[in-house]
């Protein structure tokens, strides 16, 4: 319990200390007019209250990440706590803050366009395709996932595809309508529900008969049932994404960058929501390690139930929170992925509108872009869900890596302290390079071979990105 409490306190302290340092490095301009005011169209660009933006951003980036990812990560043991804390402060929150604030500085542009500004047109074109595909993957995963959960909760009362159709209809509306009509009204409610569920679990952990394992050297080992098949590095660092660092966040931040009324809100909205998500992930990881007796019990339970994190989250909620937990579980486990799916499609629409420079004030223009996205997503629902999720996990962390390198290039250009993103960029390059070499959906190499290959790839990729950053500084023309 002591280690868990210290971990939560370190996260909060990280917001007030490291968050302030990062804010100072960026250099906010409180007098600068934001895109929400300068480009207001009452569709995507629209000033919203700071508290509402915070809750929308929190639910945008959270979804099921700090629940399912934390439960799966808890199977590795207390090492998950360390990654959540260090990842959230020094990688995730930094990634989210700079990606959001750079969007604010560049007229609310999508992340692919920001990459193009600081790493050049070639990287921009690659990232355009990459981010749209990733967002379609997210939308598809969070279309089928909730539908299956609801279908199971209702005892297969209706056909699975009826639930898919209902969720898809909601996605279409939330993608097309002005941001304050559905997202601006529904998200704050679900965001509060998700926080209340985490708070309830925290109270249950403190006052219930639970023993949270401590962060001691003897516990910082791989506690999964098959350590050889699931090595702690790099698998843990891909398994826990949204609770530490996630590239998906960089696709969501421009949505709120178009609604902020002042740059001084950036630390609260971007850095703060990531720290909040880290706290939620810590709570869920601790609950998973204790509810089933210990980490070994969690691994046995997950193995017996097909490694189904949704089942584990439902069991934890119902048993630790009682009847109230059942309601909150429904909101958290069903609503959370839906509220990530809809903003995934909305973000894809905005990226494509940035690419084709299409005015989104007219509904027909929004329809032209959105309809093909939903057709592709529905077609992907016919594929193996597990395979889509695994490729999404790696693609997600790869996007985070590219964004970190982009921010590093920006800091180099501005002659600012670029090490705050250079170090996590190199680390995440190592994670992604090693993962694709070692994972079943990748090259499935022997662990030792994958580690050597990952190290070589990291050096080569890091040198390549550094070259892009330096070259871009020489020819840089700021786009505003």
Q: Residue 238 half-sphere exposure, CB side, CA atoms within 13 Å?
A: 27
Residues 6 or more apart in contact with residue 454 via CB below 8 angstroms: 234, 430, 433, 434, 437, 438
Q: Specify the pLDDT at position 44.
A: 92
pLDDT band at 478; cut points 50, 70, 90: very low
pLDDT single digits (tens) 422-456: 999 999 999 999 999 998 888 899 999 999 999 99
Q: Which of 51-60, 68-77, 205-214, 387-396 has the lowest mean pLDDT?
A: 387-396
CB 312 within 8 A of CB 71: yes
For helices 2-16 and 79-87, the axis angle rounded to 10 degrees is 10
Q: With a cut of 90, say whether residue 268 has pLDDT above it.
A: yes
> C-alpha dihedral over 253, 26, 238, 402, to 10 degrees?
80
- Rank 59-68, 100-109, 154-163, 389-398 by mean pLDDT and report only the highest: 100-109
Q: In CATH terms, is domain 1-19+47-216+250-389 a member of 1.20.1740.10?
A: yes
DSSP for 268-310 reads IIIIHHHHHHHHHHHHHHHHHHHHTSSHHHHHHHHHHTTT-HH
The arithmetic mean of pLDDT across residues 97-120, rounded, is 94
Residue 81 reports pLDDT greater than 80: yes
Residue-level pLDDT at 138: 81
Among residues 284, 252, 268, 274, the alpha carbon closest in space to that of 89 is found at 274
Decide if pLDDT at 105 tops 60. yes
What confidence category does residue 95 fall into, taking pLDDT thresholds of 50, 70 and 90? very high
Q: What is the pLDDT of residues 343-367, one digit of tens each?
A: 889 999 999 998 888 888 888 899 9
Angle, CA of 291, 333 and 312, to the nearest 5°: 30
Alpha carbon 216 to its chain's center: 28
Q: Does the pLDDT value for residue 417 go beyond 70?
A: yes
pLDDT tens, residue by residue, 385-402: 556 666 778 888 999 999
Contact 183, 354 (CB under 8 A): no
Instruction: Give the helix ranges, DSSP H, for 208-271.
Output: 232-239, 248-257, 266
| Residue-level pLDDT at 332 | 67
**What are the angstrom distances between the C-alpha of 428 and each of 19, 92, 370, 408, 418?**
20, 11, 32, 13, 16
User: How high is the pLDDT of residue 479?
Assistant: 43
């Amino acid at each position: 319990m002591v280690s868990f409490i210290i971990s939560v306190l370190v996260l909060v302290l990280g917001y007030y200390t490291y968050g302030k340092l990062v804010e100072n490095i960026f250099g906010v301009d409180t007098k600068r007019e934001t895109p929400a005011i300068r480009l207001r169209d009452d569709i995507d660009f629209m000033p919203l209250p700071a508290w509402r933006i915070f809750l929308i951003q929190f639910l945008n980036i959270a979804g099921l990440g700090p629940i399912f990812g934390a439960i799966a990560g808890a199977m590795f043991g207390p090492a998950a706590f360390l990654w959540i804390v260090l990842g959230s402060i020094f990688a995730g929150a930094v990634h989210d803050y700079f990606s959001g604030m750079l969007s604010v500085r560049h007229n609310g542009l999508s992340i692919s366009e920001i990459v193009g500004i600081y790493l050049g047109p070639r990287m921009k074109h690659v990232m355009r395709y990459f981010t749209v595909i990733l967002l379609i993957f997210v939308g598809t995963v969070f279309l089928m996932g909730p539908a299956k959960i609801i279908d199971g909760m209702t005892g297969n009362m209706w056909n699975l595809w009826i639930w898919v159709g209902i969720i898809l209809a909601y996605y279409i509306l939330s993608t097309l309508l002005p941001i304050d009509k559905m997202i601006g009204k529904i998200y704050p409610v679900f965001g509060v529900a998700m926080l209340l569920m985490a708070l309830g679990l925290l109270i249950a952990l403190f006052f219930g008969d639970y023993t949270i394992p401590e962060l001691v050297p003897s516990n910082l080992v791989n506690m999964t049932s098959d350590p050889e098949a699931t090595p702690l590095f790099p698998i843990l660092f891909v398994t826990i994404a949204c609770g530490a660092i996630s590239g998906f966040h960089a696709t969501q931040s421009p949505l709120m960058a178009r609604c902020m009324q002042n740059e001084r809100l950036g630390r609260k909205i971007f850095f703060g929501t990531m720290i909040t998500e880290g706290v939620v992930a810590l709570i869920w990881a601790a609950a998973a390690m204790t509810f089933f007796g210990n980490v070994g019990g969690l691994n046995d339970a997950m193995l017996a139930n097909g490694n189904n994190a949704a089942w584990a989250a439902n069991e934890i909620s119902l048993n630790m929170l009682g009847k109230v937990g059942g309601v909150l579980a429904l909101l958290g486990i069903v609503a959370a992925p839906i509220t990530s799916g809809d903003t995934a499609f909305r973000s894809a629409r905005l990226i494509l509108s940035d690419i084709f420079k299409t005015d989104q004030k007219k509904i027909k223009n929004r329809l032209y872009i959105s309809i093909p996205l939903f057709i592709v997503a529905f077609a992907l629902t016919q594929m193996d869900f597990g395979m889509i999720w695994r490729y999404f996990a790696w693609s997600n962390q790869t996007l985070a890596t590219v964004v970190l390198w982009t921010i590093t290039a920006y800091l180099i250009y501005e002659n600012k302290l670029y090490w705050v993103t250079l170090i996590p960029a190199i680390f995440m390059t190592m994670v992604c390079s090693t993962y694709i070499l070692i994972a079943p959906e990748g090259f499935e190499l022997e662990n030792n071979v994958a580690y050597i290959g990952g190290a070589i790839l990291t050096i080569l990729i890091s040198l390549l990105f550094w070259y892009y950053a330096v070259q871009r500084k020489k020819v840089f023309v700021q786009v505003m």
